[in-house]
Amino acid sequence: MSEPSPLGTVGRYQIVRELGRGGMAIVYLARDPELRRQVAIKVIAGTGLSNDYFRNAFKREAAAIGSLEHPYILPVYDVGEHQGQLYLVMRYVEGGRTLKEALANGPLPPDEVGRVLEQVGHALGHAHAQGLIHRDVKPHNVLIDP
């Protein structure tokens, strides 16, 4: 049996450390003690959480995203609510960085720009073919695999 995390838990997931934050959510590295793997958990900020419509819409959208299977879309493993906080559990990419982080060091080489844009295009095309629209495509939301 694994030890409890000193940083706390979200659902069954033991928080290891914060990976990043935005206006709507905080993303944590966590450990799934049942499946013995690391995961990324996006915990949604408190605005609107008391609203049943918002919570139900979040869960429906998470289920739709979870149904997507594509090499350039992170799989969703779980969704839930813990102590009034909505969360989404996704694959953790060791060494991954966002496009925003990559651009902080200056422009990317043209061949890497082409590769990233091609992969983002394929992922968005796949989601669109399933009737889903991303609505928040920006460098902060594009993960570059090492």
46, 127, 128 from 25: Cα distances, Å: 9, 22, 24
Catalytic residue from among 32, 52, 78, 136: 136
Alpha-carbon 67 to chain mean position: 14
State yes or no: is 32 an active-site residue: no
Please, which residues have CB within 8 angstroms of residue 122's CB and are 6 or more apart in sequence? 70, 72
- Provide the pairing of β-strand 25-32 with 9-10: unpaired
Please give the positions annotated as active site: 136
